[in-house]
Amino acid sequence: MPDPTDTPPSLFRQRFAIERAHEGHRLDQFLAAALGEFSRAALQRAIKRGHVLVGGETVKPSHRLQVGDAVEVALPVDDGPLLAAEPVGLDVLFEDDHMLAINKPPDMVVHPSKGHQEGTLVNALLGHTQTLSSSYGELRAGIVHRLDRDTSGVILVAKTDRAHAAMADQFQQRTVEKHYAAVVEREPELDADRIDAPIAPSRNRTSFTVRSGGKPSTSIYRVQRRFRGFAHLDVQILTGRTHQIRVHLAHIGHPVVADALYGSRDALYRSDLLGQKPGDGEPPLIARQALHAHRIAIDHPITGERMEFTAPLPDDMTALLDALAELRSR
């Protein structure tokens, strides 16, 4: 008989609808690319133990995927005790009984992982409300979509399982409108353009790249203001790939300012704009990718009313744009 004091492990849950770009791919290879926090060996073991279903059935790691396959993942996660609720002040843009819209600050991880059990958005949400959806397990309580750690701005949270399902469906159907503010290196030749370029994990799987056979990905940028050597863009993403904006803008030769992974520097200083070397102790204008989820529009998960949420630019991006206007105006 099981010990009644035993605490069952948390479950990491994720669902995928297979698109044409992944038709014929092995199940274990697909999951290794889609779930970077798990090793391929761990995923193969999980598949063999029945923690991954395709069309409701257990299959082998070598199973070849077909368009329309429903892949359901439920992996036990040994994350120790229940996640701690933390009294972290959140910038709440909207809240009702069904959903929240949060203005996430930079340098905040969205959901816990092995290396981040504290200080995450989920920890802060648990400290803010006792009502969060449980559809995707404790580690992603309420989280409908994600933002990179160093990307600030609007992120949506579901408070009930019904709301989570309705919101997730809108993301999957691509009816959610998502706009980002980005400051990039060099001025684009065009005032607006559409980037259609497939994205896949890089060879070493630490980043992503544009490559034939990757996931179809589409971004649209519009220049908001030009500076000498820089530009402020509005970027709308029609798909939601990991690092999509950063990868696409780097691909066309305009990496996001201070993007250490896809650009040439991890910070930008006032001295850089003056053509000088930064002095000792000079604080950077910005020390993370200059990317902010500025605006998102979605149908309310219960009423169906179209709702739009806007997050003002954070201080570091405002300081960057002010410095560019002062020192690099055209």
Q: Based on the number of CB atoms within 10 Å of its own CB, is 88 exposed (0-12), middle (13-18) or buried (19 or more)?
A: middle
Query: Radius of gyration over alpha carbons of the chain, in Å?
Result: 21
Catalytic residue among 148, 150, 259, 272: 148
Write the DSSP symbol of residue 105.
P
Q: Based on the number of CB atoms within 10 Å of its own CB, is 41 exposed (0-12), middle (13-18) or buried (19 or more)?
A: exposed
> Listing from the earlier edge strand, what are the strands of the sheet with 57-58?
10-17, 70-77, 52-54, 57-58
> What is the rounded distance in angstroms from the CA atom of residue 163 to the CA atom of residue 144?
10
> What is the rounded distance in angstroms from the CA atom of residue 63 to the CA atom of residue 20?
16
Establish whether 91 is a catalytic residue: no
Q: How many CB atoms lie within 10 A of CB 51?
A: 17
> Is the distance from CB of 176 to CB of 168 less than 8 angstroms?
no
Q: Based on the number of CB atoms within 10 Å of its own CB, is 80 exposed (0-12), middle (13-18) or buried (19 or more)?
A: exposed
Element (H, E) at 167: helix 161-173
Catalytic residue ranges: 148
